[in-house]
Amino acid sequence: MELYFLGTGAGAPSKERNVSAVGLRQPRTGRWWLFDCGEGTQHRMAESPFKWNRLEAVFITHLHGDHVFGLPGLLASRSLLGLTSPLAIFGPSGLRGYLESVFQFTDTHLGFALEVEEIGDGWARTFACGWTVRCGKLCHSVESLGFRVEEPPQPGRFHPDKALALGVEPGPAYARLKRGETVVLPGGRIVAGRDVTDPPRPGRRVVLLGDTEPCTGALTLAEGADLLVHEATFLSRDEPLARRSRHSTAAEAADLARRAKAGKLVITHLSPRYAGRELELLAEARAVFPATEMAIDGSSFRCDPHP
């Protein structure tokens, strides 16, 4: 899994930071999902490794403009490019009406089937790639969601030396044993996958939270995440601004990562008031949770399989 940040600013775009958008790329296939789509996202896509025809789904955390103003344009451009494969979009209530209104008043017609599903707390779906996405309610000035992407358990490491010692010659049988299946040798001997592989490894967990102030819902979603993406709009010295707008400080994001026992925290959604001083936000978060990184536009972060 790889996260690629197309926009990392809050509220309004700046020269250095576009507004919110994150791509999650699937291993080996090049297929990807988009989380939020602020104004200018498709411009950032032109500079990214993502291809239009590999976009499979869009997930919207909430309907504030810095998270959705780029969505109608992205969909219109996808149609103008002649892409006809269906596209699914998931987000909070009101998303369908927003898109329908924009398309109606701009006379926009899409050349592909668009599935818009309005979702809420507790929603979950398992996709064709095997990943399950769960969503939970956060605490913001409008309905805001967080998403937890879960990979299924992965096969344990295969030991060809053990297979050979049991009489299994290299070939197609190895692939079956790697998948955990059972093979029957010419003499009738049965060898099970578990005899030559380590126990299954846990799947990876990537959590992307929408705008939120500290709350139980955020902690529940983030529990045990290998990679957690959390907004860090303000510094602690500006906490009154965070409370007024129902956002989080960098220290609060880090505290949640610590309590959730996350593997790594990536802070994003940084207020333009800190332009040129964003490292203060990173330092504040690292003082609480050392395994913190700060996203910038065009940065990417891998979530590697468990050993």
Which residues are annotated as part of the binding site for Zn(2+)? 62, 64, 66-67, 140, 211, 269
Residue ranges at the known binding site: 62, 64, 66-67, 140, 211, 269
Contact 39, 70 (CB under 8 A): yes
Selecting among 36, 66, 226, 297, the annotated active-site residue is 66
Decide the pairing of beta strands 32-35 and 55-59.
Answer: parallel
C-alpha gyration radius of the chain = 22
The three-state (H, E, C) secondary structure of the chain, written as one string: CEEEEEECECCCCCCCCCCCEEEEECCCCCCEEEECCCCCHHHHHCCCCCCHHHEEEEECCCCCHHHHCCHHHHHHHHHHCCCCCCEEEEECCCHHHHHHHHHHHHCCCCCCCEEEEECCCCCEEECCCCCEEEEEECCCCCCCEEEEEECCCECCCECHHHHHHCCCCCCHHHHHHHCCCEEECCCCCEEEHHHHECCCECCCEEEEECCCCCCHHHHHHHCCCCEEEEECCECHHHHHHHHHHCCCEHHHHHHHHHHHCCCEEEEECECHHHCCCHHHHHHHHHHHCCCEEECCCCCEEECCCCC
Q: What strand order describes the sheet that includes 114-118?
A: 114-118, 87-91, 55-59, 32-35, 21-25, 2-7, 300-302
Question: Catalytic site residue 36?
Answer: no
Just list the catalytic residues. Answer: 66
